[in-house]
A and B are shown apart, each in its own frame.
Chain A
Amino acid sequence: MLAIAGCGTADREDDAAAVAQHFHSALEAGDGGAACADLSPETASKLEQQEKKPCEQAILTLELPKGGSVADSRVYVTSAFTTLAQGGSDFLDEGPSGWRVSAAGCEATAPSQPYDCELEN
């Protein structure tokens, strides 16, 4: 069980990092539709409810990191945590259609306290 889990973790970390990378690249390109496709349904829905506009428009108004590269990716069960080289972190969940961003533009606050995220579910 440990060997099987260990062998698969590196691939899953790469997959999560790829989704986070694609999300921030889409924001840099101004492609709100592509960025929203990388969001979890719950996060996209909450964004639309809060901003009262379609996700592909609302997401481009947020102060989220644009472009850059993923410096670190960690996976635990079906949750992932990625960190950008220029700073800022994202939280991702793994579902039937792969990894999706559940919270983005996150900064650490106090020790043992939740991250403060620009976008979350």
Chain B
Amino acid sequence: MRRFLRDNGMSIAFLGLFLAAVIGQAIAGHADFNHTAQGHGDPTISLGRYVLSSDFGSAVMENWQSEYLQFTLFILLTVWLLQRGSPESKELDKVGLESDEQQKVGPHAQQNSPLWAKLSGIRRTLYENSLVLVMSTFWLGTWLAQSLTGVAEYNADQLDHQEDPLSWSQYITSAHFWENTLQNWQSEFLAVGSMAILAVYLRQRGSPESKPVGAPHGATGVEG
């Protein structure tokens, strides 16, 4: 048990933080929803009803989709884009998909390599791209969920003001949908860009996200 916790501490800690934060978001969001409803003279709802509502759903999904987009782009673009001196970047002479020998696939796979890394054809191609495929699927799925919950939330507000509701196809071209989408995207892209450049000059001893404290600023793709 102790070894399990030590070996999986990062996942367990972040899962715990996620659960605490999403529960806190539900509680705070429920209070805010009912405060607004009372101000409009509308009925309030229970916490259980709120977490099944489009208001809560769209608030969660708009954040999830931007996180998965961030990782999709970060994983994909770092194949070809470099940042001299950053631990987030590959070494400057390794731009691109690299050789089969460098990637340990096919005949260059090791005995303990994942099974599909040893194969050829479509299965190896799928496995070689499995991280981006899964991340982008999560991104598109949560973005779709954001649009479906968002249109319901938007239309509830429209009806509250005695205005016409929008169809889904009208909503995904609306300023409301794109403002909610882009407000999340800008923060994700800023975070990745900031991390890439700050880690060139700053250090955090012991973190794999940092270079070793004594590593020169120009050292690229080193961790420690």
Contact = CB atoms under 8 A, between A and B. Distances in A.
Interface of A: 1-2, 4-5, 40, 42, 74, 76-81, 91, 93-96, 103, 106, 108, 112-115, 117, 120-121
A114 B163 contact: yes
Interface string B149-184: 100110110111111110000000000000000000
A104 to B, nearest CB: 11
A103 B163 contact: no
Interface residues of B, number: 26
B148 A112 contact: no
B165 A76 contact: yes
Contact of A103 (B156, B162, B164): B162
B162 A76 contact: no
Contact of A91 (B37, B57, B159): B159
From B52, B55, B145, B152, residue with most partner A Cβ within 10 Å: B152
B54 A94 contact: no
Contacts, number: 68
Q: What 9 A-B pairs have minimum CB-CB distances, sorted nearest first?
A: A95-B43, A79-B159, A77-B156, A76-B156, A76-B155, A114-B162, A42-B41, A79-B156, A115-B162
Given A5-B57, A80-B159, A120-B162, 17 more contacts: A1-B52, A1-B57, A2-B148, A5-B149, A42-B41, A76-B152, A77-B153, A79-B42, A79-B159, A79-B160, A81-B165, A91-B162, A94-B43, A96-B43, A112-B164, A114-B161, A115-B162
A77 B53 contact: yes
B45 interface: yes
Contacts of A78: 37, 42-43, 45, 156
User: What is the interface of chain A mostly: helix, strand, loop, or mixed?
Assistant: mixed
Contacts of B53: 5, 77
Contacts of B161: 114
Interface of B: 37, 41-43, 45, 51-55, 57, 145, 148-149, 152-153, 155-156, 158-165
Nearest to B152: A76
A27 B51 CA distance: 38
B162 A77 contact: no
A57 to B, nearest CB: 23
B68 to A, nearest CB: 17
From A78, A95, A112, residue with most partner B Cβ within 10 Å: A78
24 contacts: A1-B149, A2-B148, A5-B53, A5-B54, A5-B152, A42-B41, A76-B54, A76-B155, A76-B159, A76-B165, A77-B54, A78-B45, A79-B156, A79-B160, A80-B159, A81-B159, A91-B162, A93-B42, A93-B43, A95-B43, A112-B163, A114-B162, A115-B163, A120-B162
Contacts of B54: 5, 76-77
